[in-house]
Chain A
Amino acid sequence: MMPDLFIAANHRKKKKKEMKEFFIKPENKEIIKDIKGKGPQNALAAFAIHPRSVRAEIQDKDEETILFLRRHIITNVGWMLLILGLILVPPLAFSFFSFSVVPLNFRIMGVIGWYLLTFAFAFERFLTWFFNIYIVTDERIIDINFINILLKDVSEMKIDRIQDISSKTEGFVRSFFRYGDVFIQTAAHVPEVCFEAVPYPSSVTTVLNDLILQEEQERLEGRIK
């Protein structure tokens, strides 16, 4: 029987299998198990490992999404409380002032206008949170910024351009809810990328370090894309 000289078809599958095993190394298993139990993979999730469906437009077909991150949901509490205050303004204003000099139709339109603006503010804040996303793939980091309703910014950075990663969790709220900032120093034209207020910053750092090691391994083996 003749031995196989070249097997190309399974190469990609093998690489993917290797990769999956790589990301669930024994020392990472506990972290990932711990996170998976706490980070629900729903539309409002701030942390997801290997989200099957979520992909950025600029991602290649065979590029796997490793991490999906956005700011911790608790960071929305501030503006939510402000909204609560804004909702209470018209009833309080009408209980303190009579507004008898203002015709009824203008009073009605005033209240409607107030609630419309309040809703617009809340929706804009929600969209800013919802669409400010960080995606880590096996090849790069994608930072999608929805700065405001008129400004969208998408930047990307190759994993092999990363020079240094650090994470910071400070303060009672951040320690209690386990979220913080991850700082990524790069050799790319964007010198520093910051994942702001993301859940489990130390685990994100671990995964990113593993990815860098994998990229170095690929470079050494000469199978870098």
Chain B
Amino acid sequence: MTPFEQFVQNLAVSGFNFWFLIKILFIIALALYLAFAVIIVRQVKIMFETLKGMLDWPIKLVAWVHLAIAAFIFILAFIIL
């Protein structure tokens, strides 16, 4: 048994809900990531306003799909964790 596995097992034996803490940390991290995805969408929009005439839809599409995936994973974390 590795030291990490022993540490986790000790926490479980002592009654401390270690995985609940990890779940909370996961959700906080994913919420921050969701905010980051929103900023990317906003920033891409601003940059294409600064630079006109460039092919913008593929990058805008990637930014929006990325935001959708980030939102989906945020919800998924609530369901499966």
Interface residues of A, Cβ cutoff 8 Å to B: 42-43, 51-57, 100-103, 105-106, 108-109, 112-113, 116-117, 119-120, 123-124, 127, 130-131, 133, 144, 146, 149-150, 152, 154
Interface of chain B, helix or strand or loop or mixed? helix
| CB pair A105 B80 closer than 8 Å | yes
Q: How far, in angstroms, from A67 to B54 measured CA to CA in the complex?
A: 14
Q: Least Cβ distance of B74 to chain A in Å?
A: 10
Q: Known contacts A101-B8, A105-B80, A113-B30; decide if A57 and B40 are in contact (CB<8 Å).
A: no
Q: Is B51 an interface residue (CB 8 A)?
A: yes
| CB pair B50 A154 closer than 8 Å | yes
Q: How far, in angstroms, from A52 to B54 measured CA to CA in the complex?
A: 10
Interface of chain A, helix or strand or loop or mixed? mixed
Q: How far, in angstroms, from A17 to B9 measured CA to CA in the complex?
A: 80
For B53, the chain A residues whose CB sits under 8 A away are 51-55
For A112, the chain B residues whose CB sits under 8 A away are 73, 76
Interface residues of B, Cβ cutoff 8 Å to A: 4-5, 8-9, 19, 22, 26, 29-30, 33, 36, 39-40, 43-44, 46-47, 49-55, 58-59, 62-63, 66, 69-70, 73, 76-77, 80-81
Q: How far, in angstroms, from A152 to B40 measured CA to CA in the complex?
A: 12
For A52, the chain B residues whose CB sits under 8 A away are 53
Residue of B nearest to A42 (CB): B55
Chain A to chain B contacts (Cβ below 8 Å), 26 pairs: A43-B55, A43-B58, A51-B53, A53-B52, A53-B53, A53-B54, A54-B51, A55-B51, A55-B52, A55-B53, A56-B50, A56-B52, A57-B50, A57-B52, A100-B5, A101-B5, A103-B19, A106-B81, A109-B81, A113-B26, A113-B29, A113-B73, A127-B44, A146-B43, A146-B47, A152-B47
Q: A109-B76, A119-B66 given; name 13 further pairs at CB < 8 Å.
A: A53-B52, A57-B51, A100-B5, A101-B9, A103-B19, A105-B80, A106-B81, A113-B30, A120-B66, A123-B40, A127-B40, A149-B40, A150-B39
Q: Known contacts A54-B52, A57-B51; decide if A109 and B36 are in contact (CB<8 Å).
A: no
Residue of A nearest to B47 (CB): A131
Q: Known contacts A54-B52, A56-B52, A109-B26; decide if A149 and B39 are in contact (CB<8 Å).
A: yes
